[in-house]
Amino acid sequence: MYYVLTDDSGQDHSFGWASDESHQGNPIAPGAVYTNDDSNYQPLTYSASSVSISQAQYDTLMGFGTPGSANYLEGMSSTYEVT
C-alpha cells in the first residue's frame, strides 16, 4: 500500500512502505520508504480515491514518509510492527 499527496502546485509526492532492497519478497523484514510506488504500480488495476485533507494532515503525511522529519515513520517499526 502507498499514498500520494499532491501539493498546491500539482506536484505528486508518493510514499510506499515495503521490505528494503536486501529483503525483497519477504513480508516480515526490515523495511524502507519508497517514493516511486505511484509509477511502479501503473496502470492502475486496483481501487484508488481522492480525499481532501487539511494542511495539518498534509504536513503530517509528508513528514511520515520523509526521512529526517520529526514524525518519520512514527508509530511503525522497520518490521511492520505497530508500536
User: Could you tell me which residue, 73 or 63, shows the higher pLDDT?
Assistant: 63
* Domain-located, residue 81: no
Residue-wise pLDDT tens digits, 7-40: 999 999 988 887 888 888 887 777 778 888 888 7
Cβ 64 vs Cβ 55: under 8 Å: no
Q: What's the number of domains the chain is made of?
A: 1
* Domain-located, residue 82: no
Distance of CA 11 to the CA centre of its chain: 15
* Domain-located, residue 38: yes
Residue-wise pLDDT tens digits, 48-69: 788 899 999 998 888 887 777 7
* Domain-located, residue 19: yes
